[in-house]
Amino acid sequence: MTKHMPDIACQPHQTPQGTLNWVGMSGIELPVLVQQGTNAADSVRMSSLAQAYVNLEDPLSKGIHMSRLYLILDQMSTEKPLSPNQVKAILEKFITSHTGLSSNAFVEFKFDYYERRSSLKSDNSGWKHYPCTVRGEMRSGQFDCEISIEIPYSSTCPCSAALSRQLIQEAFERDFDGKAVNYNDVMAWLGTPEGICATPHSQRSYAQVKVKVTQNDSLVISNLINDIEAALQTPVQAAVKREDEQEFARLNAANLMFCEDASRRLQAALSAQDAHYLDFWVRVNHLESLHPHDAVAIVTKGINGGYSDEPNLMDPMK
């Protein structure tokens, strides 16, 4: 016989009474399928931490059915790769499992996305790590899906580069002033420590990007990474031989940028993909080697964009 067990949640709710914006769970350990490449069959299983919530709009109800949210996630997280349509299906199931209690739903998957990236010149490749978050929200029938990602890159200061060039010019003038200069002498001098008596400062930098994607798009995170790295031109490298390091130095010299320059590059690149990125928020962080503080620039899709353009004193991606 089935044992009868008390269900406190179904008992009448006493005062105080009120509706609640969100009720649910965080820190849910969950494997998810993430698509790599253009074919959904090329999906890999990744470990994620998930959050799941619904609103509570019945003030007389004690609470929601949290186990239903968990079981839906457990069932659907590895049925299909994460995509806007799959995220929407999860949210719709959250709501239908709470008929009469909830009309809004939210889900988030946070995971470390790993991908092999080719070296700049050599035939090598290596793994790179990109912290990634996929969020979905259904509010009053309106669905939104968002990808957040963090991309490391290198930034070389244009001001420091100009000051370094001036010192190199002064060194050249000091060493060759009044002398007959020929091509071979200059070539030899450029290969000595005196020929590069100053170097511009550069630093590891991070682009933190949030994009709202269309419902019909597949969730190919590689495409977003490619768009960001192609705009910045100086992504950090995994497997590096001498030819790769030399090319990295060339790219840094060819792409001198303040944080303002980097944010404008990303603004232009993401705006050009408005068929896929309905809205975006970008924060670039240059972890200064000259200063103990960081240089930061924040940009959204436009003045009337959905994302707030207010500075956040704490890292909003964490």
Beta strands in the chain (DSSP E): 20-35, 43-56, 105-118, 125-139, 142-156, 202-213, 277-286, 295-300
pLDDT for 318? 41
In a domain, 14, yes or no: no
- Which amino acid is present at 212? K
Provide the H-helix boundaries in the chain. 66-76, 84-96, 158-176, 183-190, 221-232, 242-254, 259-271
CB contact set of 287 (below 8 Å; sequence gap of 6+)? 203, 204, 205, 206, 294
Task: Check: CB of residue 239 under 8 Å from CB of residue 119.
Answer: yes
pLDDT in tens, the chain (318 residues): 567 777 776 666 677 888 999 999 999 999 999 988 766 667 889 999 999 999 999 988 888 999 999 999 999 988 889 999 999 999 999 999 999 999 999 999 999 999 999 999 999 999 999 999 999 999 999 999 999 999 999 999 999 999 999 999 999 999 999 888 899 999 999 999 988 999 999 999 999 999 999 877 677 799 999 999 999 999 999 999 999 999 999 999 999 999 999 999 999 999 998 888 999 999 999 999 999 999 999 999 864 557 766 666 444 444
Does residue 11 lie in a domain region?
no
Same structural domain for residues 153 and 209? yes
In-domain check, residue 308:
no
Question: What pLDDT is attached to residue 311?
Answer: 62
> What are the distances in angstroms from CA 318 to CA 189, 208, 315?
49, 10, 6
Residue 98 lies in a domain: yes
Q: Is the pTM of this model over 0.85?
A: yes
Q: Are residue 187 and residue 74 in the same domain, yes or no? A: no
Assess whether 163 and 286 both reside in one domain.
no
Single-letter amino acid, residue 42: D
Query: Does residue 100 come out as left (phi exceeding 0), alpha (psi in the -120 to 50 range) or beta?
Result: left
CATH of the domain at 74: 3.10.270.10
Do 75 and 189 belong together in one domain? no
Do 142 and 211 share a structural domain? yes
Classify residue 81: in a domain, yes or no: yes
Phi-psi region of 166 (alpha: psi -120 to 50; beta: other; left: phi over 0): alpha
Whether residues 165 and 53 share a domain: the answer is: no
Domain that holds residue 186: 159-196
Q: What is the total count of domains within the chain? A: 2
High-pLDDT (> 90) share of the chain, %: 75
Considering the domain architecture, whether residues 172 and 63 belong to the same structural domain is answered as: no
Structural domain contains residue 230: yes
User: What would the two tokens of residue 182 be?
Assistant: 């020929």
Residue 286's contacts (CB-CB under 8 Å, 6 or more residues apart) are 155, 203, 205, 258, 259, 262, 294, 295, 296
Domain boundary among 196, 219, 248: 196
Cβ-contact 50, 85 below 8 angstroms: no
